[in-house]
């Protein structure tokens, strides 16, 4: 596992007064799809810490976001996250945006224990561990957790069971966290419908459907929703945003 890449202007520094320092946002899943659009949207105004799943993807992020701190973490290896995050030495963190996720659109009878484990490790357990490890830094900054959930966090159906189960559980996690941290950390849950992404292409291919990007939400739209939640004035909290395609 690679060490985090620290820079001379590390976001962990808190020597500047709150009014002068740029806010720091940690994003997972920033190499593609929604996560990539979130990083692009925020990069001009925030200091970014970006998690990559491999050294190869980390190099791409360093090229795209040369001012960001980039580190490698396999989110399926939940027990390794505490050590990896500890190497960032974060005193304050203004937001964490857990965006990394994997699909699991298959019937319950065709889903193995190993597939269930990987699905929940990445879509749920890694988010819980990220939050647990980062809460002290988030509390010091009166920061935000902005979890990228899914429309499947509210609705399930045939072939959606494993994926929806992980997203229902993620919604339960964020609902509980919101009440536990109310007044200290703001917690937002964003539920996109079908988004134009590599994951959506995979889903439509599995279903034998022709892919038409115009039917799906642009990932840039979800990034704007994240910015809205992040920049909601301090006395208020964007608890949940649901964004659906116009076409069903």
Residues with a known catalytic role = 163
d(CA 225, CA 231): 10
d(CA 96, CA 59): 21
The phi-psi region of residue 208 (left if phi > 0; otherwise alpha if psi is between -120 and 50; otherwise beta) is left
> Which of 86, 220, 70, 102 has the alpha carbon at shortest distance from 167?
102
- What count of Cα atoms within 13 Å lies in the side-chain half-sphere of residue 248? 0
> Which of 117, 118, 116, 97 has the alpha carbon at shortest distance from 108?
116
Q: Could you tell me if 162 and 119 are in contact, meaning their C-beta atoms sit under 8 angstroms apart?
A: yes
b/e sequence 15-37, b meaning 16+ C-beta within 10 Å: eeeeeebebbbbbbbbbbbbbbb
> Which of 71, 68, 58 has the alpha carbon at shortest distance from 11?
68
Q: Could you tell me if 22 and 43 are in contact, meaning their C-beta atoms sit under 8 angstroms apart?
A: no
Beta strands in 18-173 (DSSP E): 24-28, 47-52, 69-72, 95-97, 144-148
Q: Could you tell me if 215 and 247 are in contact, meaning their C-beta atoms sit under 8 angstroms apart?
A: yes
């Amino acid at each position: 596992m690679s060490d985090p890449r620290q820079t001379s202007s590390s976001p962990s520094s808190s020597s500047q007064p709150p009014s002068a320092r740029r806010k720091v946002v940690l994003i997972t899943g920033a190499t593609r799809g929604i996560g990539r659009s979130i990083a692009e949207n925020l990069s001009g105004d925030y200091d970014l810490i970006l998690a990559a799943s491999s050294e190869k993807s980390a190099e791409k992020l360093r090229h795209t976001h040369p001012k960001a701190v980039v580190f490698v973490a396999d989110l399926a290896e939940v027990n390794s996250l505490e050590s990896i995050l500890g190497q960032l030495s974060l005193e304050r963190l203004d937001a964490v945006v857990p965006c990394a996720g994997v699909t699991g659109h298959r019937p319950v009878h065709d889903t193995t224990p190993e597939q269930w484990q990987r699905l929940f490790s990445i879509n749920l357990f890694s988010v819980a561990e990220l939050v647990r490890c980062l809460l002290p830094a988030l509390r010091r900054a009166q920061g935000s957790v902005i979890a990228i959930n899914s429309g499947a966090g509210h609705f399930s159906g045939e072939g959606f069971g494993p994926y929806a189960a992980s997203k229902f559980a993620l919604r339960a996690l964020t609902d509980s966290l919101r009440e536990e941290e109310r007044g200290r950390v703001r917690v937002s849950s964003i539920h996109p419908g079908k988004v134009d992404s590599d994951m959506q292409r995979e889903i439509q291919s599995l279903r034998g459907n022709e892919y038409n990007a115009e039917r799906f939400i642009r990932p840039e739209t979800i990034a704007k929703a994240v910015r809205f939640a992040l920049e909601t004035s301090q006395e208020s909290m964007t608890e949940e945003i649901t964004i659906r395609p116009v076409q069903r």
